[in-house]
Amino acid sequence: MPSRRAVLALLGAVAIPLPAFAQAKPRVVVVGGGFGGATCARALHRAGIAVTLVEPNPAYTACPFSNAVVAGLRELDGQVFGYDGLKREDVIVVQDRAVGVETGAVVLAGGGRLPFDRLVLAPGIDVVFGALPGYDEPVAERMPHAWKAGPQTVLLRDKLRAMPDGGMVVMSVPANPYRCPPGPYERASLIAHYLKTHKPRCKLLVLDAKDSFSKQKLFQQAWAELYPGLLEWVPLSAGGKVTGVEGDALVTDFQRVTADVANVIPPQRAGAIAAAAGAADRSGWCPIDPVTFESRQRPGVHVIGDAAIAGAMPKSAFAANGQAKVCAAAVVALLRGAAPDPPKLINTCYSLVAPDYGISIAGVYRAAEGRLVDVEGAGGTSPPDAARSVRAQEAAYAEAWFRTITGAVFG
């Protein structure tokens, strides 16, 4: 388990020094104002690049800690971050939607064009409506996915609050890949905490399209300790894969489960601009060079964060932040005609199982054979048999990490 000092230091560990330009500034457009895009725009600007950040929303709503909003442990306002910090540094922020990429220019929904020498895409994910039969946007208003933080997060929270004690909550978890591998299991844990605290006669059923998941032993150990008889996980091999939605029921190969509250986490893909730019492959995600994060589909275009196929590196806010710094350094080097340095990347992912019970996993990654791979022997998870005081300490570390990274990215 990493120490608090070590974890917070990780945030700056990939802050690669970027040489400043003495002459006319090259132009880079960054699309997407989340953890990856905002970080990359700021790093490029500090290196002397003329940067324009394109983001359709006036503020960013963070997914980390949004499961705590679902469980009523924090307010959504604490997840919302504006772009005034970037603007104070003279990063140009354009509130518009990028809808296409021409040769050397981004096309905006509002009709404008933004020329660039290099383009960085950080579009996050889009939910693939229709990939799960019966689940579309209108149905999502009855069965929220809440996998893009914002109104859906509040909708799921409110449905849990309105449910009578004794009701059934059903979650549907997709096959890999998707944003935040341990996210569904943190959500299940915190929903179980809410039910145990406020509606103890309710039950939570988790239907999963997988037989294994991130931090599985740690989660299951905690569930047995904290939520026995309340939370049931059904894996793929036991018929857990949801194959469709019918009315108020989730359908598997073996049963039809009616829910009082259903949380359907559907399949996902890279944000729409990735396909429009020609950077996404048939999987819906974006293959990249692991040293530069340049698209393997479209030269001159880089992809970072959840949208990228980053090998062993998971789709997480921590990962996006680190990838953004590496990508910025690579873009600077390429614009100067230099060879980018091979990166070392890290990721630490915290999950809350209860408000005072945290667990974590850490990894270190390097570029090898055209992809990002684990550094053998590095990283690890929280100890499986730690005292509750250690779990409480990790929950505090999680909150410290969130304050630190949001301050660094948006402050």
Q: Report which DSSP code applies to 163.
A: S
- Alpha helix ranges (H) inside 236-310: 272-276
CB of 171 closer than 8 Å to CB of 204: yes
Q: Is residue 9 predicted with pLDDT exceeding 70?
A: no
* Cβ atoms of 248 and 262 closer than 8 Å: yes
Q: Which of the residue ranges 14-18, 130-134, 299-303, 361-365 would you say has the lowest mean pLDDT?
A: 14-18
Do 4-126+269-340 and 129-266 fold alike per CATH?
Answer: yes
What confidence tens digit (pLDDT) does each residue in 349-362 have? Answer: 999 999 999 999 99
What is the predicted pLDDT for the residue at 23?
Answer: 54
From CA 108, how far away is CA 170, in angstroms rounded? 40
Residue 77 has pLDDT above 60, yes or no: yes
Give mean pLDDT, residues 149-164: 98
H or E stretch at 183? helix 183-198
Which of 350, 305, 349 has its CA nearest to residue 328?
A: 305
In the chain, where the domains are located: 4-126+269-340, 129-266
pLDDT, mean over the chain? 94
Measured distance CA(150)–CA(161) in Å, rounded: 17
Peptide bond between residue 138 and the one before it cis (omega within 30 degrees of 0) = no
**Distance between CA atoms of 14 and 228, rounded to whole angstroms?**
41
CA 158 to chain centre: 23
Residue 17 clears pLDDT 90, i.e. is over it? no
The CATH code belonging to domain 129-266 is: 3.50.50.60
- Tens of pLDDT, residue by residue over 51-60, are 999 999 999 9
Whether the per-residue pLDDT at 13 is higher than 70: the answer is no
pLDDT at res. 25: 83
| pLDDT digit string, tens, across residues 236-291 | 999 999 999 999 999 999 999 999 999 999 999 999 999 999 999 999 999 999 99
Average pLDDT over residues 202-224: 98
pLDDT > 80? residue 6: no
Q: Are 70 and 157 in contact (CB under 8 A)?
A: yes
pLDDT single digits (tens) 25-42: 899 999 999 999 999 999
Tell which CATH architecture fits domain 4-126+269-340. Answer: 3-Layer(bba) Sandwich (3.50)
Q: Is the pLDDT of residue 214 over 90?
A: yes
Burial 339-351, CB ≥16 within 10 A → b, else e? ebeebbbbbbbbb
Percent of the chain at pLDDT > 90 equals 93
